[in-house]
Amino acid sequence: MQRETLKNLLKNGAIWGFIVLELVFFQVVGSVLSLSETAFIDPDNMLLLLKQSAPIGIIAVGMTVIMINGNIDLSVGATYALAGIVMLDSMTWPIFVGLGDWAIPFAWLMALLTGCALGLINGLIVWKTGVDAFIVTLGAMLGFRGLVFMYNGQQPTYHLNWTMVDIAEWGVFGLQTSALVFIGVSLLVWLMMTRTVHGRNAYAIGNNREAAVNAGIRVGPHILINFVLIGFLAALSAVAFYSGSGSVNPNDGMLFELWAITAVVLGGTKLAGGAGSIVGTFGGVIAIQLLRKGLGHIGAQTETVNLVIGLILIAVLLLDKQLNRQGQQELKL
Amino acid sequence: MAETNLKALGGLLARQGILVAFVVFMIAFALWNPRFIEIDNVFSVIRSSAILGVMALGVTFVVIGGNLDLSVGSLLSFSAIVVLDLHETPGFGPALAIPAMYAMTMGIGAVIGFLVGYLKLNSLIVTLGMLSAIHGLTLTWSGGQNMDIANQQETWFGIFGRGTALGIPIPVLMFGLLAAVLAIILAKTPFGRKVYAVGGNGTAATFSGIPRARVVFFTYIISSFCVATAGLIQASRTMGAQNTVGQGMELEVLAAVILGGASLLGGSGTVFKTVIGVLILGFIQNGLLLAGLEFYVQFVVTWIIIILAVWLDIATKRGKLWSPIA
Amino acid sequence: MTTDRKPALRLEGIVKTFPGVRALDGVSFEVYPGEVHALMGENGAGKSTLMKVLGGIYQPEEGRIFVDEQETVMTSPLQAKAKGVMFIHQELSLANELSVAENIYLGALPRKSFGRVDWKMLFDRTDAILDRLKVGFNARTLVGDLSIANQQMVEIARALTVNARAVIFDEPTASLTDAEKVVLFEVIESLQAEGVGIVYISHRMEEIFKMTDRISVLRDGSYRGTLTTAETNEDEVTNMMIGRSLDLSRNHAHAELGDVALQVEGLSCHALFQDVSFEVREGEVLGFYGLVGAGRTEIAETLFGLRTPSAGKIFLKGQEIRIHSPIQAIQNGISLVPESRKEQGLVLGMSCRDNITLPQVDDMTAGPFVSDGAEISIFDQYRDKLEIKTPSWRTAVGNLSGGNQQKIVIGKWLSMRPEVLIVDEPTRGIDVGSKAEIHNLLRDLAKQGYAVIVISSEMPEVLHVADRIVAMYHGKVIRTFTAEEVTEDSLIQAISGIEGGKAA
Amino acid sequence: AEAHGGTMTIGITQNNVGVDSYQTTYEEAFIAAAEANDAVDVVVLDAGGDVARQIAQMQDLIQQEVDAIIIWPTNGQAVIPAVREAHQADIPVIVTNSNIAEDGFDFVSSFSGPDNITQGSRSAEIMCDRFIELGIEDEARVVEITGQPGYTTAIERSDGFQDRLPEVCPNVTLVDSQPGNWNREDSQRVMEAFLTQYDDIDGVYSGDDNMGVGALNAAIAADRAEGITFVGATNFAVGYDAMGRGEYWGSIYQSPVDDAEAALQTAIDVLNGEEVPFLNYFDTPKITQDNMDEFDRPVF
Ligand SMILES: Nc1ncnc2c1ncn2[C@@H]1O[C@H](COP(=O)(O)OP(=O)(O)OP(=O)(O)O)[C@@H](O)[C@H]1O
Ligand SMILES: Nc1ncnc2c1ncn2[C@@H]1O[C@H](COP(=O)(O)OP(=O)(O)OP(=O)(O)O)[C@@H](O)[C@H]1O
Ligand SMILES: [Mg+2]
Ligand SMILES: [Mg+2]
């Protein structure tokens, strides 16, 4: 198993090479321009990076599973927002309000249940109707967003609880809660995908659905479980983030799906399904966050940031293509 | 006799599930609010769908060829800003601004086509990257400012978005004309056939001597041509534009194409079906607005309608309501 | 046969239709424990469909299925497996990104606590099975890295994973070489000894007569009868299958050999093959014979512009040419019928007609538009010539039977009227009747002055159609035989790298 | 923070630059003002409308140990904990353009910007005055096109308008309200539907002039612009021009340059230890066809 991981790491070499490149670049350019008094590659800054990566990172982990399974989920951003709303709002519900700070775990639970329920809806539709996941979740992206707005009109949902903020800002070794959640989730899901029957079947289904069906794998329940999982993770991401911010704007989470997918694909997961890894996705998430952070660090303007992020995405793809070439023995297709 | 007719009808229904969904939907809304099918309203819907529609026509080619194009929204903003800015540049005027804008927009399309077709990079990521990069370009071009035509009375630029001919709005005519031409190209020419082959099985297409890279390249050229046209209509209609006019349209366009029944895996779909997909989206939006629903209720209803329509479509094809997924 | 015992598997009056096709029309059929029962029939006769009904993949409209005389409804492959029916598919049904072990135990991975995979048990069991199959790869290899033949062996290995009541082999040998076939037959014999009922589908008569106890024949979806293998002969079976006898005699009226059409000198492609030289004349059929991975396919791909050679020259009619793409190859009059019809040969979602005319769609025009008439006339011509069975030209190729799909690919390249036609495993999965037809076609083409290269892993095939045979081993040409001097023994020795091949 | 002798570094995280001319002009004006002042270095960041990104940028600025932070909140409540973090790190925070919620006031040195609620009510007054002029104040029917759902500015302006209108013109009915997403095309589409749906529309209130002009375009196309009073907010150049042509009635004059300069100056004052009022509104007067000559054409 370990050898396989190493092999995957090398196969996804592009992303790690790229991360190193980013670090060096921003460090050097940042110090030449001497815009800030602190170094870019500062340990605190790197720990902060993990925390900042968490909202999209946690979702990207779920997206990896969904995509390996051969599906896609465009509704995660809306799920994230709705779960956040339920979390904050539930703390004001009469049944919880008497509990004081003990309402917090219940609020978290409500949020996670919401995420699971939305995932369940998507999963059931994909399974039972046979409509492609892309369409189901594209529709749900709209539909769930509608639910978000129904909840509180155009108003943000707001409930600031300083205990909850303190929990979110709590940390060990400089890693704050959301960073820990991100790392923990990555680890657990990595174990699931590499060690469990469910994980291996997800690969098989994504790789060759017909073969999986022929081999007697029950494709539907696996799809369902994975959609519930990504719903759960989108909600978990909301829990980690909104515990520390206390207010959900009904527009929150828009474009999260595209960023998550970008991170996943940068990390080497195939869009068609069947191949990919959580480790790669972790790298993809870090690479994107580094890019945003670094461009801010060197004082790039909005238009430059957009231009550079776009071109870099394409450059990474080119690099990856170059690294994974089979050389002269390749068939010219 | 009656039985064979019924069977033929059944066959037609099975093939055109999405069309049936469309008709059912129209009737339901017309019963709710008869205004919905008044000719003025119908024109108004088609006119406001024209921009989305024209873009969807191009994306249909890309999708049938087995790729995606998420950059169309961003490119639309680019083309609208560019044509307006050039229009306002002394010495240009519409006659020069329009071709120059087409050239630039299609130049960007060519870059995407090169990356995806010849370098064989993953189209989702390339166009996602281009979405961001083109937005950066647009902002650089405009300096982040809105573009507006100062003397609206003194230019004929407005006809593309606001004019009418024979009582039909020009955008509707352009959409219809472009749809007809592209439908013929896709269905009747060797190029169209190659697009299907490349999208259906790229390897087999290569083995059959089809220049896969070139075919993919041209699907993006067509797509960018359509975006440029949509950008022209857009700019002309509002006689001004923000840097973000097209933001978020990529997914709407894709939804229309997919709703029309094109497979994301490539190799299937038609221009006609895409038009139906576009109209469904346009009429849903309009119908719900007429019904006086809050925009967020519209979101939820659109969700339900999209899924029901596609479900009905594939259910009629497979002859079973529920999916056979074990 | 032991007819007093209960059949392991029995089908009664099975009916299954697809849009426009009545694929099975009241078929009944049974297999006894320990029996190897052949199922034969032309391409599209309904063999695979029948077996898919048995395996729970299709649900029949009518008819009943009995396992050990217990009536069962097979609603899914999972259920079929649970009832002890194992199914080795005609088309490979594997997940390329997973290991061999995971593929063999697909859907039945051994578990530990918390749903974890018991890797040790998985690999141990798989290694035991692979040992039994004497293959050269191990349990951890990625299936995508294996050759087609080895992938087929992975499919076959699945039959050994459970205690099956019945195992269905749907054309298991279509892409196996002789050595692997021997192993397969050993496996079948041992299953037989364990009392498993076996259904064996194949178009190869010699295998049928060697391996099976009884033969049932399907024709156009209906049951034609069952013969006891020991009491019948090829002719009778063929007659039952296609309603006439075949003249399979060797048909070597040599055509007049013309000029050298294609000459290859010292062609190499990195590690794939080295220093390959040969020539083929107008009017000649040149055979390429060798083991899997010998490099024949790669030579063909190089000639077709899909690979860049590292050294060597190619001459067409004495002119040196460079081919960088299939387009150039086609312009130069070279055509390739590729070895994998699903991946390389066909656009499965496209109609039969569109597939056949694909390489020449640019010429099928009236004005700027594709002309239906021109296309349909080409289609009709090759449908008749190759006896392609399809409800209409509109049918998606993916819905045809395996053999008919292969015929579409051949038709596609024949219709190009090439000067040099390369066919790679042209009759894989093709029924006897059509096979003879294709062989005759290839010979006819040669007679008309075409140069034909046939790559095949079936010795009878190369012996039957080729004028000369190039024997390959490990990327090198060992020897070129003429039809007169070649013997089975010398050919086997040559392609196995045994020095003796050079003598004879 | 103590008063600085040398240069001071001020970080700003903006809401969404490039989404419209206002924000872009704001950014340009801000940078220009900073460059004109030798004592100031600025780090300019753009959250792209995303709260999560804005919070990350706040953390980055804290980590870079800037002397003061200016924030244009994407969400006036969600940024409060991040603002607290800055406060705890002894970095003064100035809120610009739209304010954060009251719970965060303790952590903020000052707010500088327009008063969006007042803007909304002023628009209502402009509208009502016009109806009285036309003599239709007892029967007029009004539709509203709001900005991007969820954004504070959009919500506050709409609230201000909807609360004030019945106070000044109790008999005017607001028949419908739909979002136009700060987008001219969306607004035009919404207006087209309104025109089909309602035979009688006397007034249109839009969350900004950009959308207002979209609505105007729709009305012109339907030949119904004559009878409709268009009122907007944040007077854009297009709105100003339409006013000049007599097609558009009125708006609220708000200069991004004033906005940006006020924010920077507030930050500098805070760092210099000067006394600054907590709510630092700059004035945003009414502008209509009647008084437009008193104002310069907006540069955006
Ligand atoms: N999924 C399908 N949809 C429509 N028609 C089908 C489908 N599968 C098979 N058929 C048709 O059913 C008939 C029987 O096909 P089947 O695959 O069983 O033939 P076969 O006997 O296995 O042939 P071969 O020897 O070529 O493999 C053929 O006419 C084929 O075209
Ligand atoms: N043992 C192997 N491991 C990995 N790849 C292999 C192996 N054997 C063959 N291949 C590759 O698999 C591809 C197809 O293999 P296949 O079994 O069809 O070979 P083949 O076509 O029979 O051999 P030949 O090259 O002689 O035609 C070839 O590209 C070959 O290089
Ligand atoms: Mg078959
Ligand atoms: Mg081969």
pLDDT 10s digits, A178-235: 999 999 999 999 999 999 999 999 999 999 998 998 888 989 999 999 999 999 999 9
CATH architecture of C246-333+419-504: 3-Layer(aba) Sandwich (3.40)
Structure-model confidence comparison of residues C130 and B32, the more confident one: C130
User: Nearest C-alpha to atom 3 of ligand 2 is from which residue?
Assistant: C146
End-to-end CA distance of chain C: 44
pLDDT of res. A1: 44
Per-residue pLDDT of C442-455, as tens digits, reads: 888 888 888 999 99
In angstroms, the CA C199 to CA A116 distance is 46
Chain D within 8 Å of B241 (Cβ-Cβ)? Answer: yes
Count Cβ atoms below 10 Å from residue D88 Cβ, excluding itself: 11
Partners for D (CB, 8 Å, 3+ pairs)? A, B
Chain B residues near residue C365 by CB distance under 8 angstroms: 189-190
CB–CB contact B326 A266 (8 Å): no
Q: Report the sign of the C-alpha dihedral through residues B293, B294, B300, B305, in that order.
A: positive
Per-residue pLDDT of C49-101, as tens digits, reads: 999 999 888 889 999 999 988 899 888 888 888 888 988 887 788 998 899 99
Residue B247, in any domain of the structure: yes
Give the three-state DSSP class for A25. helix
Give the pLDDT band of residue C501 (cuts 50, 70, 90).
Answer: very low
Chain C within 8 Å of B214 (Cβ-Cβ)? Answer: no
Partners for C (CB, 8 Å, 3+ pairs)? A, B
**Mutation pick for ligand 1 pocket among C25, C49, C408 (CB with most ligand atoms within 8 Å):** C49
Q: Which residues pair with B188 in a beta bridge?
A: none
For D44-54, what is the mean pLDDT? 86
- Residue of A195, A207, A329 with shortest CB distance to C95: A207
Task: Quote the pTM value.
Answer: 0.84
pLDDT of res. A184: 96
Beta carbon of C389 within 6 Å of any ligand 1 atom: yes
The yes-or-no verdict on residue C380 having pLDDT over 60 is yes
Q: Which residues pair with B165 in a beta bridge?
A: B168
Tokens 């002894």 -> residue: D90
Residue A266, in any domain of the structure: yes
CATH number, domain with residue A227: 1.10.3470
Residue A29, in any domain of the structure: no
In DSSP notation, B64-103 reads: HTT-----HHHHHHHHHHHHHHHHHSTTTHHHHHHHHHHH
In angstroms, the CA D161 to CA D186 distance is 21
End-to-end CA distance of chain A: 33
Structure-model confidence comparison of residues C403 and D200, the more confident one: D200
Per-residue pLDDT of A5-35, as tens digits, reads: 555 555 556 778 888 888 888 888 877 776 5
Give the pLDDT band of residue B77 (cuts 50, 70, 90).
Answer: very high
Give the pLDDT band of residue C250 (cuts 50, 70, 90).
Answer: low
Nearest to B264 by CA among B47, B32, B60: B60
In angstroms, the CA B140 to CA B143 distance is 5
Nearest to C93 by CA among A215, A57, D81: A215
Ligand nearest to the CA of C432: 1
Nearest to D279 by CA among D97, D155, D82: D97
With touching defined as 3 or more inter-chain CB pairs under 8 Å, the answer for chains C and D is no
Query: Domain count of chain A?
Result: 1
Per-residue pLDDT of A95-147, as tens digits, reads: 888 888 888 999 999 999 999 999 999 999 999 998 889 889 988 998 999 99
Q: Report the sign of the C-alpha dihedral through residues D250, D256, D257, D260, in that order.
A: positive
C-alpha distance from C34 to closest chain B C-alpha (Å): 32
Q: Which residues pair with B241 in a beta bridge?
A: B147
Beta carbon of C428 within 6 Å of any ligand 2 atom: no
Report residues near ion ligand 3: CB below 5 Å: C 48, 90, 402
Residue B29, in any domain of the structure: no
Q: Side chain identity at A169, as an amino acid letter?
A: E
Topology, domain C9-242: Rossmann fold (3.40.50)
In angstroms, the CA C15 to CA A15 distance is 55
In angstroms, the CA B219 to CA B77 distance is 20
C-alpha distance from A130 to closest chain D C-alpha (Å): 34
User: Nearest C-alpha to atom 29 of ligand 1 is from which residue?
Assistant: C44
Q: Residue D229 belongs to what H/E stretch?
A: strand D229-231
The yes-or-no verdict on residue B309 having pLDDT over 90 is no
Beta carbon of C339 within 6 Å of any ligand 2 atom: yes
The yes-or-no verdict on residue C144 having pLDDT over 90 is no
Q: Side chain identity at B130, as an amino acid letter?
A: M
In angstroms, the CA A3 to CA B284 distance is 54
Q: Which residues contact D300 (CB under 8 A, 6 or more apart)?
A: B145, B146, D21, D22, D24, D25, D236, D237, D256
Q: Residue C217 belongs to what H/E stretch?
A: strand C214-219
Q: Has the ipTM of the complex gone over 0.85?
A: no
pLDDT of res. A38: 66
Residue A279, in any domain of the structure: yes
Residue A9, in any domain of the structure: no
For C393-410, what is the mean pLDDT? 89
Burial class (CB in 10 A: 0-12, 13-18, 19+), C373: exposed
Chain A residues near residue B139 by CB distance under 8 angstroms: 302-303, 306
In angstroms, the CA A191 to CA A182 distance is 14
Query: What percentage of chain C exceeds 70 in pLDDT?
Result: 96
Q: Which residues contact B120 (CB under 8 A, 6 or more apart)?
A: A321, B213
How many CB pairs (< 8 A) connect B and C? 73
Q: Mean pLDDT highest for which of B51-65, C68-82, C220-234, C338-352?
A: B51-65
CB–CB contact C95 A208 (8 Å): yes
What is the SS3 string spanning C290-357?
ECCCCCHHHHHHHHCCCCCCCEEEEEECCEEECCCCHHHHHHCCEEEECCCHHHHHCCCCCEHHHHHH
In the numeric block, which tokens belong to residue D199? 């035979």
Tell me the residue range of the domain where B50 lies. Answer: 37-148+155-315
Nearest to B159 by CA among B248, B232, B85: B232
Give Cα separations from B274 to A215, B22, B65 (angstroms): 37, 12, 15
Query: Phi/psi at B74 (nearest 5 deg)?
Result: -65, -40
Structure-model confidence comparison of residues A83 and D221, the more confident one: A83
Residue A15, in any domain of the structure: no
In angstroms, the CA B302 to CA B19 distance is 17
Q: Would you list the domain boundaries of chain C?
A: 9-242, 246-333+419-504, 349-417
| Order of strands across the sheet that contains C85-88 | C85-88, C166-170, C197-201, C36-40, C214-219, C222-228
pLDDT of res. A328: 58
Query: Phi/psi at D288 (nearest 5 deg)?
Result: -135, 175
Query: Domain count of chain B?
Result: 1
Count Cβ atoms below 10 Å from residue A6 Cβ, excluding itself: 10
Is A19 within 8 Å of A283 (Cβ atoms)?
yes
How many CA atoms within 13 Å lie on the side-chain side of A95?
4
Q: Side chain identity at D156, as an amino acid letter?
A: E
Give the three-state DSSP class for C198. strand
Chain B residues near residue D239 by CB distance under 8 angstroms: none
Residue B320, in any domain of the structure: no
B residues 137-166 lying closer than 8 A (beta carbon) to A: 137, 139-140, 144
Q: Which residues contact C221 (CB under 8 A, 6 or more apart)?
A: C21, C22, C23, C24, C25, C27, C45, C46, C49
Residue A281, in any domain of the structure: yes
Structure-model confidence comparison of residues B45 and C226, the more confident one: C226
Q: Side chain identity at B17, as an amino acid letter?
A: G
Tell me the residue range of the domain where A300 lies. Answer: 41-327
In angstroms, the CA D300 to CA D298 distance is 6
Per-residue pLDDT of B108-133, as tens digits, reads: 999 999 999 999 998 988 998 999 89
Count Cβ atoms below 10 Å from residue C226 Cβ, excluding itself: 16
For B81-92, what is the mean pLDDT? 92
Beta carbon of C433 within 6 Å of any ligand 1 atom: no
Q: For testing the chain A interface, which of D19, D43, D77, D159 should be mutated: the one with the most A CBs within 10 Å?
A: D77
Count Cβ atoms below 10 Å from residue A92 Cβ, excluding itself: 13
CATH number, domain with residue B68: 1.10.3470
Chain D residues near residue A241 by CB distance under 8 angstroms: 52
CA of B182 to the centre of ligand 4 (A): 41
Per-residue pLDDT of D286-296, as tens digits, reads: 999 999 888 88
Strand duo C166-170 + C197-201: pairing: parallel
| Order of strands across the sheet that contains C260-269 | C273-281, C260-269, C311-316, C319-321
pLDDT of res. A296: 79
Tokens 């987008």 -> residue: D183
Count how many residues are written for chain B.
Answer: 326
